[in-house]
Amino acid sequence: MSLENFSLDYFSLTNKVAIVTGGNTGLGQGYAVALAKAGADIFIVAHNTDWDETRELIEETGRSVHFYQADLTVRENIHQIVEECLRVYGKIDILVNNAGTIRRAPLLEYKEDDWNAVMDINLNAVYFLSQEVAKVMVEHKSGKIINVGSMLSFQGGKFIPPYTASKHGVAGLTKAFANELGQYNIQINAIAPGYIETANTAPIRADEERNAEILSRIPAGRWASPADLMGVMVFLASKASDYMNGHILAVDGGWLAR
């Protein structure tokens, strides 16, 4: 890229195709809408079929959206997801590994089933879907894989040991994939959101003491909304970030700076 050649077109995703897991609610919905607004057609993978609102938001941008119901923890579904996206759109330019889950309990009481459930969706699904999509991207020597980490990619937290382990793992996979796939012009980076106003964080925000404790540490002085992550998603999915690889980008209102 030369200084003369750079333009805002580098941020355009016109005619790109993006797979977004868990893209029908919360942050995933924001990511999907952001990519559509930048010009991409969207293939959303979701465990449930509550996607009317997301469909409307994306179709308002003038882009196409296709929904595919699947359990990402079932290995057989991974190949089918990729095949269906290729059938519908003919290519895959962007993968956003957003789907995730969290289960809370004190460490000494944490159940094995809960550990496995969190690791299966937060880490194993990220690995296997990224691996399958990478096979397609390598053929075309182009692609963007964007993982979703967390503040718990950097910190330990409490009452969520598998969530912390999985998000540290997401950071590790991001770097490992970048090392192997960079030679094929494929960039793998991760977003690490701070405290976001979503359904998952509603119980914490409802706890006045805990909410005040969190806000006191955020220099921005507020929780983020999904819209605060939209620009970063477009950047990481676009040509503008072509020389950025293996990075975990915190969008946290300054949380880690404290």
Q: Could you give the CA distance from residue 185 to residue 207 in angstroms, rounded to a whole number?
A: 46
Provide the H-helix boundaries in the chain. Answer: 26-37, 52-59, 75-89, 112-119, 125-140, 161-181, 202-206, 208-217, 230-237
Q: What is the pLDDT of residue 3?
A: 79
* pLDDT tens per residue, range 5-48: 888 999 999 999 999 999 999 999 999 999 999 999 999 999 99
pLDDT band at 108; cut points 50, 70, 90: very high
What number is the average pLDDT over the span 83-104?
A: 97
pLDDT band at 1; cut points 50, 70, 90: low
What number is the average pLDDT over the span 81-90?
A: 98
DSSP string, 53-64: HHHHHHHTTT--
Catalytic amino acids? Answer: 163
Per-residue pLDDT at 231 exceeds 90: yes
Per-residue pLDDT at 77 exceeds 70: yes
Contact 42, 65 (CB under 8 A): yes
Per-residue pLDDT at 160 exceeds 80: yes
Per-residue pLDDT at 2 exceeds 80: no
What number is the average pLDDT over the span 86-94?
A: 98
